[in-house]
Amino acid sequence: MSTSTSPKLLRVAVVGVGLVGGEFIRQLLAFPAPSPFRLVSLTSSSATLFDPDGLALTPDSFKQELATSHVRLKPDLAFLVRELAALVRPGQDAVLVDNTASEDVARHYPQFLKAGVHVVTPNKKAFSAELRLYEQILAASLDSGARFLNEATVGAGLPVVSTLKDLIATGDKVLKIEGVFSGTMSYIFNEFSTGKEGGPSFSSVVAVARTKGYTEPHPADDLNGADVARKLTILSRCIPTLRGGLPAGYKSVATRSLVPPALASVDSGDEFVARLPEFDADFDALRAEAAREGKVLRFVGVVDVESGVVRADLEKYSVTHPFATALGGSDNIIMFHTERYGARPLVVLGAGAGAAVTAMGVMSDLLKLVY
């Protein structure tokens, strides 16, 4: 005799309606009926919509409603914690989906989790900051049973975090993780360093990358390596033996900045790009040296579990190495060297940036809460 239960209902509060947030909302609202998701709150930088019974929004109307609705509220994270906690009951969970890059929102995760509200996010800030915040998140999750899921913090929609967690949970021993973790750095060095002497100048490649939207408005925010360091911190903290090894978070990662020291204090992205040609000769010399050795330059991240070393650096790889042959555009590639995958590493490869694939990573985490 079979029994049936009502499907789990998940009330969803979304913070952030920018590129990733907007795409996520469209994917959420387009989910096939009967949907287990009920969108109860939507928050931008200036307004919040909230209805515990669900907001009547469409993929084409949500931004207009946020801008003009007469029931708009001011953004208030404490309000969201209280209201979402009140909605949590057996068979009916609530989740905060943080699609921002806000440190303020990230520091509220322990409060949401302690209140029994799940957290799903592509925001790297909480999981790559100082160890104390990460431990607060872990403790709050364990205390309430609410889960935090952050697949999209590394590799956008690629299954990087979940793969690492599965390897560890099933008893494999992770020896080393190495990869090209930045879509921006991937594009820049795929174009700049091909294994041949000569080629476009470093500054021109950075300028094109900025025009295409691959870099931040200020390219130094990519070239300083902090984004890669954050991702390495997130992965390191999934590995029990390394969890406490980066007390200051990404700032504890040995990181090589590609920002010329003379440009470190330049506040304007336009000025930075205009002055970068002054340093092309330095980058040309690095490329020429690699080419003479039959190698390419790639900005990589490495988590060496056995030595405990975590680093983000510009390194040389043979022209036959997958980091030289398998990448195109802004692809990411991550290799997991483990006891089970000893002779040949487990490789995750694909688009590591972009609103659609990042939102997909967030959506896949949301699905894990109901299926």
Residues designated as active site: 231
Written as one letter, the residue type at 296 is V
171 is in an annotated binding site: no
Written as one letter, the residue type at 336 is F
Would strands 309-318 and 254-255 be described as parallel, antiparallel, or unpaired? Answer: parallel
348 is in an annotated binding site: no
155 is in an annotated binding site: no
Q: How far from chain centre, in Å, is Cα 17?
A: 16
294 is in an annotated binding site: no
The edge-to-edge listing of strands for the beta sheet with 37-43 is: 48-50, 37-43, 9-15, 92-98, 118-120, 148-149
Closest CA to 13 of 366, 370, 368, 367: 366
Place of tokens 């820049």: 188
Tokens of 32: 């096939």
120 is in an annotated binding site: no
Q: Tell me the C-alpha distance between 185 and 314, whole Å.
A: 10
How far from 5 is each of 9, 84, 93, 371, CA to CA, in Å? Answer: 12, 24, 15, 13
Q: Taking each helix axis from N to C terminus, what angle separates 202-211 and 183-192, rounded to the nearest 10 degrees?
A: 140
CB 138 within 8 A of CB 333: no
Please give the full DSSP string across 214-233, using - where no structure is assigned: -S-SSTHHHHTSHHHHHHHH
83 is in an annotated binding site: no
18 is in an annotated binding site: yes
16 is in an annotated binding site: yes
Burial of 90 (0-12, 13-18, 19+ CB in 10 A): exposed
Q: How far from chain centre, in Å, is Cα 40?
A: 25
First-to-final CA distance of the chain? 23
338 is in an annotated binding site: no
Binding residues for NADP(+): 16-21
**Residues at the annotated binding site?**
16-21, 100, 124, 216
> Which residues are part of a known binding site for NADPH?
100, 124
The binding site for L-homoserine comprises 216
